[in-house]
Structure formats: C-alpha cells, structure tokens
Amino acid sequence: MDILKTTGQFAWKLLLGSVFVFGGAYLIQQSADLRFLDSTFVPLCILLYMVTVFAYAISYLGIHSNPELGVYAILGGVMVKMLVSLGIFMVFLYGFKPENKVLLGLNFFCIYLLMSCFEVIVLLRNLRRKIK
C-alpha cells in the first residue's frame, strides 16, 4: 500500500511540474508567434508522463525491497522507460507522418530528459533516506 501512496505523490508532483513547464512553453508559442512545438506535443507529453510514473513505480518497488540493490532497480526502471519511450517515438515518427521530424525529435527529447531528470532526483532522494 505504501507504493501506491508514494507513486501517487510522485505522479501528482510530476503532473504539476509538467503542466507548469510544458504549459508555459505552449503559452509562449501561442503568444509569441513562434513555432517550436509540434502538433503531437500534448499526446507525447501524456504518454511520456504515464511511462515515467510506471518506471518510477518499478524503481521504487526495487529500492524498498532491497536497498543495497536500489541502484540496479533505478537503472532497470530507466532502461524500461527508455525502451518504451523510444518505441512511442518511433510510432509517432513513422506512424503519424509529422510535418517536421526534427521538431518532433527535439520535442520528444526535451520532454523525455526533463521527466527523467525529475524521476532520478526523486528516486535518489528516496534511496539516500533508505540507506541511512
């Protein structure tokens, strides 16, 4: 039951941060008449958000089942997230035929790296508390 509570807290924090950062980027694009977001930006954000929460749950479960091997759990969660995310990217790239593939790639990697950075920071804080 602890994993559901902690994963829910992480999901809520990630959702607030994502809405703030990516919503801000969307508002800047709309107000400044610049084109730096692809048309698939919002579905990509939603799918990567779900993958990030799932990878966090896997990593958190691994950390709390055996704290000494917690780093391997984090690496396993990150690897699962990377492979699933790249699969999603390939579906968006070749399945939906975007008008600008470079823009889609930049949007994907910005979203992926920001969410991964937030996930790893939170997991390392949990691991540090667990070892002490």
Burial of 110 by CB count in 10 Å (0-12 exposed, 13-18 middle, 19+ buried)? middle
Place of tokens 């809520």: 12
Q: Can you tell me the distance from the alpha carbon of 73 to that of 65, in angstroms, rounded to the nearest whole number?
A: 10
Residue 130 pLDDT: 54
The pTM for the full model equals 0.85
pLDDT 10s digits, 104-128: 898 899 889 988 888 888 887 876 6
Compute the mean pLDDT over every residue in the chain, rounded to the nearest whole number.
85
Dump pLDDT digits (tens) for 17-40: 888 888 888 888 778 877 778 788
- Coil, helix or strand for 110? helix
Q: What angle do CA 102, 117, 32 make, to 5 degrees?
A: 45
